[in-house]
A and B are shown apart, each in its own frame.
Chain A
Amino acid sequence: MTRISFGRRRFAVGAAAGVAGLAMPAIAQNEPIKVGVIVPLSGPAGPNGQVVAGAVKVAAELLNAKGGVLGRKLVVIAKDDESTPAVGVTRANEMVAEKVAVVIEGWNSPVTLAMQPVLARADILDITAVSKADPILSGQGNPMAVRINSSNGQDGAVCAEILLNKLGAKRIGFLTQNDAYGNGAQQVIEAELAKIGKPWEKVVVEQFPFKQTDFRVSLANVKQAKPDAVVAINAAESSGMPALIQQYRQAGIEGTFVAAVGTILPTVFRIAGEATTGIVSADIYFPDLPPFDKIKENLEFVEAYRKAHNEAPDKGAALGAAALEVWASAAAAAKSLDRKTVAGAIRGGKVPGTILGDLSFAANGQAQHKHTIFKVVDGKTAKIEAVT
């Protein structure tokens, strides 16, 4: 039989190691949870991305005030993807190195598509806040994808409803951003228009890159086509879209300007002002309108956001905040930070208590929304009214 004896010093070292071992999980328990945000913080979409990142921080502070997630505080790390897929990939790798529990990302679809595999391979939960392209939810880049913004499919149906049933347009034109988001959106709108079954004609299609701000040549062609309504699909809400609206008015085109769902943000009113009067569009979030003015979480968020940023949150802000709330709520319900467990709790389920109310998700990870159609009645004061 071998006798095992411990010297006093050896025992002390062993005891210290044991205490340290016991203490380790406690330290991990109290360590804050890192939340990554990757959006454009510079360039044409910079102001919009800053709004998303700012909103995630406000939502994180609200959650921290209530004790955080699984008893741990949240720390938000925001990085700039510069609207460039290659840069987004670098930032995604940095988030992997930071060991974040979740990444909330995506203003531009190509950037999201490029980042998805990096985060999926590193087994980090990836929630797309805004990017709309359909392949994002195809499962090829990320089999556990979750998207908070409405899909091109949902928006297309609403846009078709505006064009044929609300405006009674027969001659329809398209001003489309030439990328995954723009072309996908136009395709869906056309398919939904065909589904309604009323007669209509595509009289003009003009395409442009995301960063374009001079549309005069395209608009001359649009004017010549004499459309009843023109659908403008432009995600550069801080530069391209307001410029397009102003130049549309200067060109004196008579057809109604129908802005793609979710593109009339405060930045558009701020830059294009008066020229936005008469625009018809639809969206999924309005901070002060029903049903959001009755949702407790939204009222809290709007107050905190106004305090931090001196303005009301826009849809981009709401999507960023909702993304964090959806993750926090699902992680709390699943009592886990594991990617597959949390994503499983979101996909195909219902997440209560977000600023958008109780949010249902399709099995592919797409959030389900109810759209409100509106018309801008005074662009100067950003006054809109619901179209029923």
Chain B
Amino acid sequence: MMARLSAPLALALAALAYFIPAVSGGAPVVYAACTTIAILAVMAYGADLILSYLGEVSLGHTIFWATGGYAASMLAVNYGWNGWATAAAAIVAAVVLACVLGLVTLRTREFVFSLVTYAAAVVAMEVAFNWSFLGGSDGIVGVPPLVLTIFGWGVSGAANTDLWPIAWLLLMATLLFIHRFRRSRLGTSALMVQMNPDLATALGVDARRVRLAVFVTSAPISALAGWLYAYQRAYVGPDMFESYFLVLMLTAIVIIGRRLLLGPLIGTALIIVQQTFFSIGGDGDKIILGAVLAAILLLWPKGLIGLWDVAARRLRSSA
């Protein structure tokens, strides 16, 4: 859909998005919700790269999300590194971990791939829980406000109003990256490997190499989301591996429909807005989320966008 939009329109939409919290009243809770949506959407885009373009379900992307969080918090708290340095460290750490996990899962497909990535996430969580170097079960307390300066100009702050411009920039950069990825050689090769592996092989595409490259590309995206989340929350603990985030990222991708540029963002926004402004209690929220997910997977496996297709077909046939 976005592909058809011209660049100026996309830019205008991006600029408009920046003013959403201000236009919605500018209350701290609105800034908090928007910043959280931006961060969690970027987290979901990491997993989206695997789900939408490799056709695999990674249950291990909480590892990269947490890696970003731990890198930021440990280096900022223990060594006083600034935001640029912690972001670079988050990217490096995520790429290294993704190379290892990517190589291990290189030969696995579908169910086995999901299972191995899940097992890796469980192992990583146990390590974080029990290793005092990573703060153990207490986690890392007292993450300082984020400081990002460039040529003397910069942003710093800990409040959501301060973090919103950074979250917005990160989200826009991610969207641009995903947009470029879809048109890149790697993106098209990944789709070909998923849709028609025989054709891909015949055309000389090395499926394993493509899978590894996509996996390694996806990791820093989730890690950068975790990096910003550490500053937003000022506390990082093993709960970053919890199923709350895993379920959120997968639901956000599936709910609207795979392979849609804005899908994970809209999905994340729907979930967080419901949980923040229309919550009916913890149990109720989970029932809603589960029921919506089940209904979508059963009725419109393509996601809510499938509804659009149905409506469009009806319109066409009636015309």
Point out residues on A near B: beta carbons under 8 Å.
40-43, 46, 80, 82, 84-87, 89-90, 93-94, 96-97, 109-110, 113-114, 116-118, 121-122, 133-135, 138, 140-141, 178-180, 182-184
Can you name 29 A-B pairs with beta carbons within 8 Å?
A42-B281, A46-B282, A46-B283, A80-B282, A84-B239, A84-B242, A85-B233, A85-B237, A86-B239, A87-B244, A90-B36, A90-B276, A93-B28, A93-B29, A97-B27, A97-B28, A97-B29, A109-B138, A110-B238, A113-B235, A114-B233, A117-B233, A117-B235, A118-B233, A118-B234, A138-B142, A140-B142, A141-B234, A180-B137
Q: How far is the CA of A182 from the CA of B137 in the complex (A)?
A: 9
Q: Which residues of B lie under 8 Å from residue A122 when comparing CB positions? A: 28
Q: How far is the CA of A80 from the CA of B32 in the complex (A)?
A: 18
Cβ–Cβ contact A96 & B29, under 8 A = yes
Residue in chain B with minimal CB distance to A115: B235
Known: A93-B32, A93-B160, A96-B29. A110 touches B275 (CB 8 A): no
Which one, B28, B244, B281, contacts A86 given CB within 8 A? B244
Within 8 A of A (CB), among B143-194: 143, 158-160
CB distance from B239 to the nearest CB of A (A): 5
Known: A42-B282, A93-B160, A113-B237. A135 touches B32 (CB 8 A): no
Q: Which residues of A lie under 8 Å from residue B139 when comparing CB positions? A: 110, 113, 180
Secondary structure call for the B interface: helix
Cβ–Cβ contact B237 & A110, under 8 A = yes
Q: How far is the CA of A90 from the CA of B235 in the complex (A)?
A: 14
Secondary structure call for the A interface: helix
Cβ–Cβ contact A96 & B283, under 8 A = no
Which one, A40, A90, A116, A182, contacts B32 given CB within 8 A? A90
B136 at the interface (CB under 8 A from A): yes
Which one, A87, A89, A116, A134, contacts B282 given CB within 8 A? A87
Residue in chain B with minimal CB distance to A113: B235
Q: How far is the CA of A180 from the CA of B33 in the complex (A)?
A: 28
Q: How far is the CA of A96 from the CA of B27 in the complex (A)?
A: 10
Q: Which residues of A lie under 8 Å from residue B130 when comparing CB positions? A: 178
Which one, A87, A94, A116, contacts B235 given CB within 8 A? A116
Q: Which residues of A lie under 8 Å from residue B141 when comparing CB positions? A: 113, 135, 138, 140-141
Q: How far is the CA of A114 from the CA of B238 in the complex (A)?
A: 11
For the complex, count residues of B whose C-beta is within 8 A of A. Answer: 34
B18 at the interface (CB under 8 A from A): no
Q: How far is the CA of A82 from the CA of B239 in the complex (A)?
A: 13
Q: For the complex of A and B, list the 7 residue pairs with the smallest distance between their C-beta atoms, beginning with the closest.
A: A42-B282, A140-B142, A117-B234, A97-B29, A82-B282, A93-B32, A42-B283
Which one, B138, B159, B244, B283, contacts A121 given CB within 8 A? B159
Q: Which residues of A lie under 8 Å from residue B159 when comparing CB positions? A: 121
CB distance from A257 to the nearest CB of B (A): 24
Within 8 A of A (CB), among B5-45: 27-29, 32-33, 36
Known: A87-B275, A96-B29, A121-B159. A135 touches B138 (CB 8 A): yes
Cβ–Cβ contact B28 & A179, under 8 A = no
CB distance from A352 to the nearest CB of B (A): 32
Q: How far is the CA of A41 from the CA of B285 in the complex (A)?
A: 12
Q: Which residues of A lie under 8 Å from residue B143 when comparing CB positions? A: 117
Q: How far is the CA of A180 from the CA of B236 in the complex (A)?
A: 13
Residue in chain A with minimal CB distance to B282: A42
Which one, A84, A93, A141, contacts B142 given CB within 8 A? A141
B300 at the interface (CB under 8 A from A): no
CB distance from A204 to the nearest CB of B (A): 17
Q: Which residues of A lie under 8 Å from residue B29 when comparing CB positions? A: 93-94, 96-97
Cβ–Cβ contact B244 & A179, under 8 A = no
Cβ–Cβ contact B234 & A110, under 8 A = no
Q: Which residues of A lie under 8 Å from residue B36 when comparing CB positions? A: 90
Residue in chain B with minimal CB distance to A85: B239
Q: How far is the CA of A90 from the CA of B141 in the complex (A)?
A: 18
CB distance from B90 to the nearest CB of A (A): 19
CB distance from A364 to the nearest CB of B (A): 14
Q: How far is the CA of A90 from the CA of B233 in the complex (A)?
A: 10
Q: Which residues of B lie under 8 Å from residue A90 when comparing CB positions? A: 32-33, 36, 275-276
B129 at the interface (CB under 8 A from A): yes
B81 at the interface (CB under 8 A from A): no
Cβ–Cβ contact B235 & A96, under 8 A = no
Q: How far is the CA of A133 from the CA of B139 in the complex (A)?
A: 11
Residue in chain B with minimal CB distance to A79: B279
Q: How far is the CA of A87 from the CA of B274 in the complex (A)?
A: 12
CB distance from A238 to the nearest CB of B (A): 14
Q: Which residues of A lie under 8 Å from residue B239 when comparing CB positions? A: 84-86, 110, 114
Cβ–Cβ contact A94 & B282, under 8 A = no
Q: How far is the CA of A118 from the CA of B36 in the complex (A)?
A: 13
Residue in chain B with minimal CB distance to A177: B137
Residue in chain B with minimal CB distance to A97: B29
Cβ–Cβ contact B276 & A179, under 8 A = no
CB distance from A346 to the nearest CB of B (A): 21
Q: Which residues of B lie under 8 Å from residue A93 when comparing CB positions? A: 28-29, 32-33, 160
Q: Which residues of A lie under 8 Å from residue B279 when comparing CB positions? A: 80
Q: Which residues of B lie under 8 Å from residue A43 when comparing CB positions? A: 282-283
Q: Which residues of B lie under 8 Å from residue A135 when comparing CB positions? A: 138, 141
Residue in chain A with minimal CB distance to B142: A140
Q: Which residues of A lie under 8 Å from residue B242 when comparing CB positions? A: 84
Residue in chain A with minimal CB distance to B143: A117
Q: How far is the CA of A312 from the CA of B121 in the complex (A)?
A: 44
Q: Which residues of B lie under 8 Å from residue A118 when comparing CB positions? A: 233-234
Given A80-B282, A121-B159, A180-B136, 13 other A-B contacts at CB below 8 A? A46-B283, A85-B237, A94-B29, A96-B29, A97-B29, A116-B235, A117-B158, A117-B233, A118-B234, A138-B142, A140-B141, A140-B142, A180-B139
Q: Which residues of B lie under 8 Å from residue A182 when comparing CB positions? A: 137
Interface centre among A109, A122, A135 (most CB of B within 10 A): A135
Within 8 A of A (CB), among B220-277: 233-235, 237-239, 242, 244-245, 275-276
Which one, B129, B158, B244, B276, contacts A94 given CB within 8 A? B276
Q: How far is the CA of A117 from the CA of B237 in the complex (A)?
A: 14
Residue in chain A with minimal CB distance to B232: A89
Residue in chain B with minimal CB distance to A179: B137
Q: How far is the CA of A69 from the CA of B137 in the complex (A)?
A: 39
Q: How far is the CA of A31 from the CA of B32 in the complex (A)?
A: 26
CB distance from A216 to the nearest CB of B (A): 20
